[in-house]
């Protein structure tokens, strides 16, 4: 073989040994997810994160790349989760004005909703015979994924399952929100927005913004407050439930 | 943009330090978030550079949890064998959470009309 021209498998060995392959794969899968999402008029069923996860999981299975190897490269994206969590201070700050005069009902609803989220998910999973590893993933699933994964690490449950359950919860919430809130007779936009933000974090919030701006503001407030209070209260609740 | 990133990273670092020495149960970035929120409140406005970075992050937040979530490939057989429990828990819980949150708000808020 021509010595100046490395064989294709050598290039492959070189690439799969560097973080580049995992990074390209992650970013292009997400980009593909975003394109599909836009194509389907931002339908929650075509969630870009779920699409990206499916693409990356399929590709690394097909090319026989162990997950640990993939993560070694993709960890540079993963690292930014913490930074993005801190940056959530900005949207929360912008939503603080919306709290005025409504702080008591909002906090009461958040505590009730947050408790319902944990108790119902953990209760049903236990009832249907799920094991401890799966149940652990349910504790923080209604909290925005970057915070949920931080909480998962602190309470010694799988951040991966927590992230997957959080994304699924967001998608389900965005799809079901209209039917559920109509069924319970919730009418005010700020109340509808807050409910979907508390239950379905970021994915529910973007759905709320697409329906009504006031719903969107209160959804991001619900998501932000649930994130911050959840980070404090969920570890305590887990200790209590054990 | 870099100035905004630096300020956010400083709060992240501060949050990690506080978490490590005082509040081990709370994730460092969440403490960083609360400290940054307090700082914004005192300052009374969001510096444009910080706003720029925060907007970029919040628009692409989903990308950042792809690497961890792909780990689901390792849990896949496990989840499949508990599929009913997982699906039932996820669906019922999100419906119940939305319903309870909305009902509590409607019950105690004074301005409930649209």
Residue A4: pLDDT above 80? no
Question: In terms of domains, do B10 and B61 share one?
Answer: yes
**A181 within 8 A of B55, measured Cβ to Cβ:** no
Q: Which domain holds residue A42?
A: 8-87
Q: Six-digit token pair at A190? A: 């700020």
Segment among A12-21, A173-182, B47-56, B58-67 with least mean pLDDT: A12-21
- What is the tally of structural domains in chain B? 2
Interchain contact B80–A (C-beta under 8 A): no
Question: In terms of domains, do B86 and B49 share one?
Answer: no
The C-alpha of B56 sits at a distance from chain A's nearest C-alpha, in angstroms, of: 9
If pLDDT is split at 50, 70 and 90, which confidence band does B106 have?
Answer: very high
Q: Nearest residue on chain A to B31, judged by CA atoms?
A: A86
Question: In terms of domains, do B30 and B54 share one?
Answer: yes
Residue A13: pLDDT above 80? no
Question: In terms of domains, do B28 and B78 share one?
Answer: no
Question: In terms of domains, do A81 and A114 share one?
Answer: no
Question: In terms of domains, do A222 and A113 share one?
Answer: yes
Percent of chain B with pLDDT over 70: 96
- What is the tally of structural domains in chain A? 2
Q: Would you state the pLDDT for residue A3?
A: 55
Residues shown for chain A: 242
If pLDDT is split at 50, 70 and 90, which confidence band does B73 have?
Answer: confident
Q: Say yes or no for a CB contact (<8 Å) between B104 and A184.
A: no
If pLDDT is split at 50, 70 and 90, which confidence band does A100 have?
Answer: confident
Question: In terms of domains, do B14 and B59 share one?
Answer: yes
Q: What is the DSSP string of chain A?
A: --TTS--HHHHHHHHHHSHHHHHHHHHHHHHHHHHHHHHTTT-GGG-HHHHHHHHHHHHHHHTT--HHHHHHHHHHHHHHHHHHHHHTHHHHHHHGGGGTTTHHHHHHHHHHHHHHHHHHHHHHHHHTT--HHHHHTTTTTTS-HHHHHHHHHHTTS-HHHHHHHHHHHHHHHHHHHHHHHHHTT---HHHHHHHHHHHHHHHHHHHHHHH-HHHHHHHHHHHHHHHHHHHHHHHHHHHHH-
If pLDDT is split at 50, 70 and 90, which confidence band does A5 have?
Answer: low
Q: Say yes or no for a CB contact (<8 Å) between B69 and A91.
A: no
Q: Would you state the pLDDT for residue A235?
A: 92
Closest CA to A218 of A181, A183, A184: A181
Query: Is residue A194 domain-resident?
Result: yes
Q: Which domain holds residue B97?
A: 72-108
The C-alpha of B48 sits at a distance from chain A's nearest C-alpha, in angstroms, of: 11
Tens digits of residue pLDDT in A169-220:
999 999 999 999 999 999 999 999 999 999 999 889 988 988 898 999 999 9
Tens digits of residue pLDDT in A38-87:
999 988 889 999 999 999 999 999 999 999 999 999 999 999 989 999 99
Among partner residues B55, B65, B101, which is closest to A198 by beta-carbon distance?
Answer: B101
If pLDDT is split at 50, 70 and 90, which confidence band does A7 have?
Answer: confident
**A72 within 8 A of A19, measured Cβ to Cβ:** yes
The C-alpha of B78 sits at a distance from chain A's nearest C-alpha, in angstroms, of: 8
Q: Say yes or no for a CB contact (<8 Å) between A117 and B97.
A: yes
Contact list in B for residue A105 (CB cut-off 8 A) is 104-105, 108-109
């Amino acid at each position: 073989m021509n010595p100046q021209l490395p064989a294709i498998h050598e290039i492959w060995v070189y690439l799969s040994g560097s973080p580049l392959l995992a990074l390209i794969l992650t970013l292009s899968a997400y980009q593909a997810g975003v394109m599909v999402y836009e194509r389907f008029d931002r339908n929650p069923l075509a969630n870009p994160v779920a699409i990206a996860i499916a693409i990356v999981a399929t590709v690394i299975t097909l090319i026989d790349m162990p997950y640990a190897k993939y993560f070694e490269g993709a960890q540079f994206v993963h690292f930014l989760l913490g930074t993005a969590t801190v940056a959530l201070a900005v949207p929360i700050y912008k939503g603080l004005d919306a709290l005025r005069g409504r702080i008591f009902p909002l906090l009461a609803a958040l505590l009730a909703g947050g408790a319902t989220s944990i108790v119902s998910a953990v209760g049903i999973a236990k009832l249907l015979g799920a094991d401890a590893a799966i149940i652990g993933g349910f504790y923080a699933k209604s909290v925005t994924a970057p915070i949920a994964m931080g909480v998962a690490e602190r309470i010694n449950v799988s951040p991966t399952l927590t992230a997957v359950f959080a994304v699924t919860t967001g998608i389900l919430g965005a799809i079901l929100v209209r039917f559920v809130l109509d069924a319970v007779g919730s009418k005010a936009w700020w109340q509808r927005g807050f409910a979907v933000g508390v239950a379905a974090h970021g994915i529910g919030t973007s759905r709320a913004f697409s329906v009504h701006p006031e719903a969107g503001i209160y959804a991001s407030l619900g998501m932000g407050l649930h994130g911050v209070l959840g980070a404090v209260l969920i570890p305590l609740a887990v200790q209590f439930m054990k | 943009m870099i100035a905004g990133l630096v300020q956010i990273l400083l709060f992240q670092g501060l949050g990690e330090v506080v978490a490590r020495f005082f509040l081990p149960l709370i994730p460092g970035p969440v403490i960083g978030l609360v400290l940054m929120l307090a700082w914004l409140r005192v300052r009374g406005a969001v510096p444009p550079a910080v706003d720029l970075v925060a907007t970029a992050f919040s628009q692409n937040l989903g990308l950042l949890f792809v690497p961890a979530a792909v780990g689901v490939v390792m849990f896949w057989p496990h989840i499949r064998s508990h599929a009913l429990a997982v699906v039932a828990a996820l669906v019922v819980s999100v419906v119940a959470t939305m319903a309870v949150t909305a009902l509590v708000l409607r019950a105690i808020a004074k301005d409930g009309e649209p």
